[in-house]
Amino acid sequence: MSKIALIALAGACGTLCRYWLSGLVYDLMGRDFPWGTWAVNIAGCFLFGLVWIMAEERGFLSAQARILILTGFMGAFTTFSTFIFESGGLLNDGQWLKLALNLAGQNLVGFAALYLGTGLGRIV
């Protein structure tokens, strides 16, 4: 099986896990707050950190397995974990301005893009 096909398969698994976990949390906690998304994003950050260390520092995972898990599975499970991981890199490097721009920028521009997208959707 090709590398692309394996990443796609891992992505499908990540999508299904996201659906399952968020649904389970919503069933347990209710839908008055986005607890399901919160749980997925926090779990994704934890898993991303665990896999990264297991691959990069401990050598327990090959580069191919790391790509399969972090790009395929985690890419479909949550992109929030990548956002936090990259922000952590900026923090570790002491790039405070870039860190602030990344944290504030993605959130503010994301809200603006959502607003523009919903506005466009209402007029087409």
Q: Per the annotation, where are the binding residues for Na(+)?
A: 75, 78
Q: What angle do CA 90, 95, 100 make, to 5 degrees?
A: 80
| First-residue to last-residue Cα distance in the chain | 42
Q: Hey, what are 40's tokens?
A: 């997925």
| Known binding-site residue numbers | 75, 78
For the purposes of burial, counting CB atoms within 10 Å of the CB of 94, is it exposed (0-12), middle (13-18) or buried (19 or more)?
exposed
SS3 for 37? helix
